[in-house]
Amino acid sequence: GGDESSSALILGSRIAAMDDFIAKLQSEKKQQEKERNDAQKQLKKKEEEVAALRSLLTRKEACATNEEAIKEKVNERTQLLKSELDKKLEECRRMAEEFVEMERRRMEERIVQQQEELEMMRRRLEEIELEFRRSKDGGSTDETSGFAKRLKSLYSDDDPGMVKSMDLDMGDSEPVKQVWGAALSYQPSNTISSNLSNVL
């Protein structure tokens, strides 16, 4: 039971790291949205300044020539500001989309990697279960068998998009939560495998 509890704690730490990664991604997305909103506020402020200039020009209609010249300069300045702000907004949008897409692909790759490693662990646990069944140690057989069955049933569901929890209640071990559809921020693929080798 101790080795299985250790494996469960390792999985729990990996899942906690994944939750931290998702929170970081959401925080970065909010920051990008804030920058976009700030750019929009700047555009609105410039438009208000333009409106104030036009109001001033209206009060000086006596100088028609100067008014036309000022209006032209105001319009040119306005168009320039709008063009610059539009470019910044478009760049922010493009960078946000690229960042989200890149992180989505990373998460998908890590999820597939984790699933393969957990499938390997499940198969190994089934092998252990068979070995224990052949042995005469009945107490260890029952404990390992129940652990393997719960792990196996967790990954036999047909809906990979749901958030699941896995209770590997082996002795005093804590329940482990498995989040499906998100990425794990963890070491290369041999980490869990090496941990499994150490456990087994």
pLDDT in tens, 58-97: 776 666 676 677 788 889 999 999 999 999 999 999 999 9
Residue with tokens 């068979």: 130
- Give pLDDT, residue 110: 94
What SS3 class is residue 168?
A: coil
User: Which residues are CB-neighbours of 76 under 8 A, at least 6 positions away?
Assistant: none
| Helix residue ranges, H only, the chain | 2-58, 64-134, 138-154, 190-199
Has residue 42 got a pLDDT over 80?
yes
Higher pLDDT, 9 or 146: 9
- Give pLDDT, residue 99: 92
Q: What is the pTM of this model?
A: 0.31
Contact 128, 200 (CB under 8 A): yes
- Give pLDDT, residue 151: 53
Average pLDDT over residues 10-30: 88
- Report the distance separating Cα 156 and Cα 59, nearest Å: 77
Phi, psi dihedrals of residue 161, rounded to the nearest 5° = -90, -5
Higher pLDDT, 198 or 129: 129
Tokens, residue 74: 């105001």
- Report the distance separating Cα 168 and Cα 84, nearest Å: 57
